[in-house]
């Protein structure tokens, strides 16, 4: 969908109350999508270096996991096994509950998402409101499940970061993921073909950082000129 049409669509939904916790903002909002371990945060960071405000869903999820109401729900469901002695959620222990292809793992993931997604969405909406009040001109939303969580309704632009499988396999070694874990993460998201359908721009992230950065800077100049 063209950028002008997206802005009009945002205003129309806000005017008719068809979004929850969503408002039309007088700023450019860019959503970053793509495959897991594909370089989305690298693109968001490059935009932040140019002056965009960066909303990082992983950081918001970390904040949500520190909230008492979230911890209480997780404790009721999983017990004490996912908490350390200080009462903080141990993310590796939580991740271990959902990494698997079996029905139990899928149900556990659905439960965690049902607890976290609404809270993270509220935190993101509040941050957007604060940025709008501060007259921020460009915001980038870096969220692995941007489409699935319906955050794309807030975006004027959606950039798809296109990264080949072989390259992503190299990157996951730095995160201590296995290829199988990468496949599982990808299988639990929209297909790459479906994600590309939402994109207004496609960044080729297969030729190294300088090539990717040149594309980002060219798009930035188009947006801010």
Going from the N-terminus, what domains does the chain have, and what CATH number goes with each? 3-224 (3.40.50.300)
Distance (Å, whole) CA 99 – CA 15: 41
List C-alpha distances in Å: 99 to 63, 81, 84, 162.
22, 16, 20, 25
pLDDT of residue 225: 82
Backbone angles phi, psi at 162, to 5 degrees: -95, 110
Which residues sit in the known binding site? 37-42
| Beta carbons of 198 and 33 less than 8 angstroms apart | yes
Confirm if 210 and 46 have CB atoms less than 8 A apart.
no
Q: Are 195 and 147 in contact (CB under 8 A)?
A: yes
Q: What is the pLDDT of residues 140-186, one digit of tens each?
A: 999 999 999 899 999 999 999 999 999 999 888 887 788 988 998 89
How high is the pLDDT of residue 19?
37
Residues (pLDDT < 70) of the chain are 1-25
pLDDT for the residue numbered 16? 34
pLDDT of residue 5: 43
The mean pLDDT of the chain is 88
Distance CA 171, CA 58 (A): 18
Q: What is the dihedral of CA 35, 62, 181, 55, to 10 degrees?
A: 10
Q: Whole-model pTM?
A: 0.84
Q: Which residues are annotated as a binding site for ATP?
A: 37-42
Distance of alpha carbon 185 from alpha carbon 191, whole angstroms: 11
């Amino acid at each position: 969908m063209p950028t002008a049409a997206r802005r009009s669509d945002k205003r129309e939904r806000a005017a008719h109350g068809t979004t929850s916790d969503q408002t039309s903002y007088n700023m450019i909002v860019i959503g970053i999508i793509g495959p897991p371990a594909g370089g989305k945060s690298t693109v968001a960071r490059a935009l932040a270096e140019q002056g965009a405000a960066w909303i990082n869903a992983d950081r918001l999820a970390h904040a949500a996991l520190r909230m008492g109401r979230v911890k209480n729900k997780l404790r009721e469901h999983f017990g004490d096994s996912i908490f350390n002695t200080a009462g903080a959620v141990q993310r590796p222990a939580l991740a271990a509950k959902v990494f698997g292809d079996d029905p139990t793992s899928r149900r556990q993931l659905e439960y965690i998402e049902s607890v976290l997604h609404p809270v993270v969405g509220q935190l993101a909406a509040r941050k957007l409101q604060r940025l709008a009040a501060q007259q921020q001109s460009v915001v980038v939303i870096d969220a692995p499940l941007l489409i699935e969580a319906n955050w794309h309704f807030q975006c004027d632009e959606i950039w798809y970061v296109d990264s080949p499988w072989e390259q992503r396999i190299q990157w996951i070694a730095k995160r201590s993921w296995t290829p199988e874990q990468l496949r599982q993460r990808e299988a639990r998201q929209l297909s790459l073909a479906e994600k590309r359908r939402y994109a207004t721009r496609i960044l080729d992230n297969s030729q190294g950082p300088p090539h990717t950065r040149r594309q980002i800077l060219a798009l930035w100049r188009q947006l801010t000129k």
